[in-house]
Amino acid sequence: MIIRVCMGPAGIAAGGKQVLDAFNAELGRTQVAAKVLENCSSHQVGCLGLCARDVLVEVHRDGTKTVYQYVKPDMVARIVQEHLIGGKVVKDWLVDAAYDSFYRKQVKVVLADCGRIDPESIDAYESVKGYEAARDVLASRTPEEIIEEIKMSGLRGRGGAGFPTGLKWELGRKAKSDVKYIICNADEGDPGAFMDRAVIEGSPHAVIEGMIIGAYAIQAGHGYVYIRAEYPLAVERLRMALDQARSRGYLGKGIFRSKFDFDIKIKLGAGAFVCGEETALIASIEGQRGMPRPKPPFPVNKGLWQKPTVINNVETLANIPHIIRNGCGWYAGFGTERSRGTKVFALTGKIKNPGLIEVPMGITLREIIEEIGGGIESGKPFKAVQTGGPSGGCIPASMMDITMDYEALAKAGSIVGSGGMIVLDADDCMVNVAKYFVQFTQAESCGKCVPCRVGTKRLLETLERITSGKGSPNDIELLEELSGGIKSLSLCGLGQTAPNPVLSTIKYFRDEYDAHIRDRKCPAKVCKGLLTYSIDAAKCKACGSCLKACPSGAVSGEKKKPHKIDPAKCVRCGACFDVCKFGAVERE
């Protein structure tokens, strides 16, 4: 019998250690022969389970797994007594159906080993068939065969653009040069994205193996991992993994006893979103300021130090060993006609079960939100989901049956992007959401080209005007005009996609823009400048809390008489609303 207690960060926070101790004590006391193990504890791997139900405890008995949720130390005795000794599952504490659907709808390829193996041990990786694919490729397959295999798998780049990986490698293979490079893009700058970080922290060798196979396919002798310095744990694990791989002869001269030389260097990025753009990334590795360069020439012909360079995303590369090991047909079996395989999404926002999920492409948004995500946390109506981060757009609740694949999302005015997925409910203001993303892209614009540098600033100012109640009737047209110019004229993908959150919120939530501009109202009651505060005399108990809390002296009132707010003095900070215990302050 084995008992596994979740000791991931969330598990520990929920009291995992106490539960673990309780089991050990209880087993000692009752003399039951069972092993107590830790789940997800392998050196702080971010938990990929259903953290919201921690502490989760798995009991493995007679070949079946039973999972208990919200376990507290005082529940341990009963579980041991009834289940371990008595053989009867404690039904009251079992995980509910939602727990099931959370797992059932997911397909773990890239994340399969994350949290399951010790990421700091190359032996652990090899024990789950790690490096078998690379060994096989180096021993007995030609670059052309590998490229064909990846092409047939239908794998498309997971860094955002969805470019077919096999085709990219083919172009890299065909480029003529004595020196070529392969770069792993681990810059991951989208707000709210942490897929690549989880993969590197959880299974760094998988990324290295993917790079080895890619390097062999294009015949590149040098590799770089461009990773942001804000990921210190990922960097440390990667360094460790590179050393281990080198000491086994998987990197360096004549890798896997072949005639092929390949090694990988780490280059730390200083945390600029634009450095995830491939030409800016190359400039950054070369020691220049990270500013995009015009294409053509494309990196695959003239990239790093003007040599042919293939750049792939972390998740793209982590898929490679699995495809080689299991065959392209297996991988192509997941997903849709043109979007094959699985995709990792970072599910965040107003969702019950936030976290990283891996799903087959083509799954519907409804399945993700309702079944995996467990619905909206507050129980309020689901409003929209923002996919693709600052380059993407929103999908409204009315389109919940949309399939999550490159084509469908593009048609809806959004993108799969790198996999950020922010869930919004009735309390979110869509104009404010658009403003948030434009704020980000404006701050992260490299400043090189006019439409992006100045254009996004004007977009932002217009959105700020609208959300502060100073919008004018033609502001929507102005936003559209600016967006059109920025999209067509910007040099790189950052500018070309920066207006997407604005355009898609206008497309699906024009009424919210109208409400802000025409009625001077924020329907979600988010935009401070548009709220008015007043006191309902019938509910006011004249306690004076609001009077004390108001920083601008807008509240007046005497003992035992209902208080009043002077709208001329009110700065709309909401302090009165927050302090009133009687719900007498009204916000509109």
Partner 1 sequence: MAMVTITINGKALTVPDNLTVMEAANRHGIAIPNLCRHPQLTPFGGCRLCVVEVKGLPRPIASCTTPVTEGMEVTTMTPRLEEHRRFVLELILSDHPNDCMTCQATGSCQLQELAYTYGVKGERYPGERRIYSKRDGNPFIERDLEKCILCGRCVKICDEVQGVEAIDFGYRGFKAKITTPFEDDLDCEFCGQCVSVCPTGALTGKLWKGKGRYEGVRETETVCPYCGTGCNITVHARNNEIIRISSKPWAWNEGLLCVKGRFGYPFVKSPERLTKPLIRRASGNFEETSWTAALEYVSAWLKKIREERGPDAIGGLSSARCTNEENYLFQKLLRAGVGTNNVDHCARL
Which positions touch partner 1 (CB under 8 A)?
Answer: 272, 274, 289, 291, 293-294, 296-297, 442-451, 453-458, 461, 478, 482, 485, 487-491, 496
Piece in contact with ligand FMN (CB under 6 A), picked from 145-153, 270-278, 365-373, 534-542: 270-278
CB of 345 to partner 1, least distance (A): 28
Q: How far apart are CA 494 and CA 178, in angstroms?
A: 32
For residues 545 and 572, the answer to whether their CB atoms sit within 8 Å is: no
Q: Which of 370, 375, 367 is nearest to 351 (CA)?
A: 375
User: Nearest distance from residue 148's CB to ligand FMN, in Å?
Assistant: 18
- Both tokens of 170, joined, read 């083919």
- The DSSP-derived string for 364-427 is BHHIIIIIIS-SBTTSSPEEEEEESGGG-EEEEGGGTT-B-SHHHHHHTT---TT-EEEEEETT
Instruction: Report the DSSP pairing between strands 181-186 and 222-228.
Output: parallel
CA distance 521 to 528: 10
Token pair 């579980």 is at which residue? 79
| Segment contacting ligand FMN by CB under 6 A, of 136-144, 157-165, 242-250, 577-585 | 157-165
**Going by C-beta distance under 8 Å and a sequence separation of 6 or more, which residues neighbour residue 16?**
5, 6, 7, 8, 54, 55
By CB atoms closer than 10 A (0-12, 13-18, 19+), residue 583 is: exposed
- For residue 454, the partner it binds in ligand SF4, ligand FMN, partner 1, none, with Cβ less than 5 to 8 A by kind, is partner 1
* Min separation Cβ 58 and ligand SF4, Å: 47
Which of ligand SF4, partner 1, ligand FMN, none does 549 bind, CB closer than 5 to 8 A by kind?
A: none
State the minimum distance, in angstroms, from the CB of residue 484 to partner 1. 9
Q: What contacts 24+ positions apart, CB below 8 Å, involve 174-177? A: 175/218, 175/300, 175/301, 175/308, 176/308, 177/307, 177/308
Work out how close the CB of 280 gets to ligand SF4 at its nearest, in angstroms, rounded to a whole number: 7
153 touches which of partner 1, ligand SF4, ligand FMN, none (CB within 5 to 8 A by kind)?
Answer: none
Compute the least distance from the CB of residue 451 to partner 1, in Å. Answer: 6
Total residues in contact with ligand FMN, by rule CB under 6 A: 24
Rounded distance between C-alpha atoms, residue 573 and residue 587, angstroms = 11
Shortest Cβ 272–ligand SF4 spacing (Å): 9
Rounded Cα distance between 111 and 130, Å, is: 14
- Residue 525 near which of ligand SF4, ligand FMN, partner 1, none (CB within 5-8 Å, type-dependent): none
- Least separation, in Å, of the C-beta of 534 and partner 1? 34
291 vs 429, beta carbon nearer partner 1: 291
Instruction: Indicate which of partner 1, ligand SF4, ligand FMN, none lies near residue 161 (CB less than 5 to 8 Å, by partner kind).
Output: ligand FMN
The answer to the question of residue 278 lying near ligand FMN (CB under 6 A) is: yes
Residues that bind ligand SF4 (CB under 6 A): 274, 292, 445-449, 452-453, 490-492, 494-495
CA distance 308 to 30: 66
185 binds ligand FMN (CB under 6 A): yes
In the shown chain, the binding pattern of residues 415 to 434 toward ligand FMN, with x for contact by CB under 6 A and - for none, equals: ---x----------------
Contact present, 346 and 419 (Cβ < 8 Å): yes
Say which entry of ligand FMN, partner 1, ligand SF4, none residue 311 contacts (CB below 5 to 8 A, set by partner kind): ligand FMN
The residue type of 160 is: G
Residue 478 burial (10 A CB sphere; 0-12, 13-18, 19+):
middle
Residue 452 Cβ vs ligand SF4, minimum distance, rounded to whole Å: 3
Cβ distance to ligand FMN smaller for residue 364 or 442: 442
- Binding to ligand FMN by CB under 6 A, coded x per residue (else -) over 286-305, reads --------------------
Minimum CB–partner distance for residue 444 and ligand SF4 (Å): 7
Cβ-contact 464, 494 below 8 angstroms: no
For ligand FMN, the closer CB: 207 or 546: 207
CA distance 577 to 330: 57
Give the residue with the Cβ less far from ligand FMN, 164 or 485.
164
Cross-strand partners of 224: 183, 265
- Spell 167-196 as b/e; 16+ CB within 10 A means b: ebbbbbbebebeebbbbbbbbbbbeebbbb
CA–CA dist 481, 418 (Å, integer): 27
Q: Are 585 and 570 in contact (CB under 8 A)?
A: no
Give 500's DSSP letter. H
Alpha carbon dihedral 312, 313, 319, 321, in 10-degree steps, equals 50
Question: Which positions from 467 to 496 touch ligand FMN by CB under 6 A, shown as an x/- string?
Answer: -------------------------xxx--
Q: How far is the CB of 254 from partner 1 (least distance, A)?
A: 39
Give the one residue of 71, 207, 311, 347 binding ligand FMN; rule: CB under 6 A. Answer: 311
170 is a site residue for ligand FMN (CB under 6 A): no
Smallest separation, CB 90 to ligand FMN (Å): 45
Report the residue number, 157 or 455, with the smaller CB distance to ligand FMN: 157
Where does this chain bind ligand FMN (CB under 6 A)? 157-161, 163, 168, 185, 187-189, 273-274, 276-278, 311-313, 316, 418, 492-494
